[in-house]
Each structure stands twice: as structure tokens, then as C-alpha cells.
Amino acid sequence: MLGGDLRFHLEQQLNFPESQVRHYVACIALSLNYIHTRRIAHRDIKPENILLDQNNYAHLSDFNIAIQFDRHQPLAWSRAGTVAYMAPEMLAKKGYSTSVDWWSLGIVAFELLFGVRPFRAKSKEELIHSILCDPLVFPQNVYNVISMDCIDVLTGLLDKSPYQRLGHNNFERFKSHKWFQGLDWDKLEKKQLPSPYPLDVGPFYRCTS
């Protein structure tokens, strides 16, 4: 896509305005609802796998390790994806479902807003322990950066309990959250809403010309 991936833009900008992150999160949430109703989990949501089109709409890519759950076996146990974005239930190998994608979306949203992920460590083992055991901690300046509604969404997406996690098995609850107040989901799905910020696709035109 002409806009490249979110990792490229994150490295250029370091972080994004809240309104822009809300737009991206809503776009990906629509994609998740679409695949989850078909019992498919992406399992590798991260900035590298989110592509932007010329209108600055976000799209999921790279379904190489996606899994479709059987009606009679709605859980999987194997780890798949990138550890930094893996949900606790996947790391614990206790059985997981499409809930893991909502956790990954929360990690991505946090990273876009603050330029860092909420769980970090020097080694893979320490990172796994942090994701499983450490509480969610926001930067000290969080109230100067994002709204309380945004904090609530991040907290909901990064709930360590998959059963309580925002978005999982209740997309209507997700859409009705106050953070999305005023957002026309139907128009967003039809790509009839302008992005809060225009996207500079110049670098990609130059690379392909």
C-alpha cells in the first residue's frame, strides 16, 4: 500500500496524536471483528503488519500464522507471533482464542501513543515474566498526553484476563466506549470518513518511481 507500514511511520514520528491513534485502532478493530466472526485469529498484530493506504486508513496484513478455530475446539495452545505483542494467555499456554488479538492491539496502541511498549525487558525470558506478572504502568506524563477515555480503552485492551478484555466477544461494547463517541462506524467501514491527519506518501512514491 502507498502509505507503507506503521513501523516506518513510528520510527519517523516516535509517537502519534491521540486522535490519529483512535482512527487506527478503530480501523483495526473493524478488521478484527470481521475475522473473529469467522473464528480466525491473526496472532501477529504489530506495527510492521499494519499497512496504511493513501487515505491513511489502517489495514491488517501478513496472515501467515493466522489460525481458524474449529467449532468443536475453540482454543489453541501453541505460541505464535512476536513475544512483545503476545497476550498472557498465549504465553502461559493455558489455551487461548481470538482474545489474543485484542491484547496485541492494545500493545500497538500504547506504543503509537508513547513511543514505547508497556512491557519491556532485556531478555526474552524477562519479557515473558513481565507480560505475565507486571501491572500495566503508564508514563508519568500520561495525563498530559492522552484523555481519561483513552486510558480506559488501553486498560481494557490490556486486561490480563481474556474474559474481561475489551473487544473480546463483545464488539458492540467496544464500539460504544466513550473514547469513540461521535465516530460513525458505518462511514468508517465504508472509508467515507477523512483521517484526522493527512498521510505523506511522498517517500513511497519516490521509492517506487
Q: Could you tell me the pTM of the whole model?
A: 0.94
- The whole-number pLDDT of residue 209 equals 45
Predicted confidence (pLDDT) at residue 204 exceeds the cutoff of 90: no
Q: Domain boundaries in the chain?
A: 4-193+201-205
> Which has the higher per-residue pLDDT, 74 or 21?
21
- The pLDDT assigned to 73 comes to 83
Domain 4-193+201-205 grouped into CATH 1.10.510.10: yes
Specify the residue for cell string 491513534.
21
pLDDT level of residue 203 (50, 70, 90 thresholds): low
pLDDT of res. 198: 83
| 173-198 residue pLDDT tens | 999 999 999 999 999 999 999 999 88
Q: Give the mean model confidence (pLDDT) for residues 149-172.
A: 97
Give the closest residue to 10 by CA, choosing from 59, 54, 47: 47
Q: How confident is the model at residue 71 (pLDDT cuts 50, 70, 90)?
A: confident
Active site annotation includes 44? yes
Which position among 5, 44, 101, 159 bears the catalytic label?
44
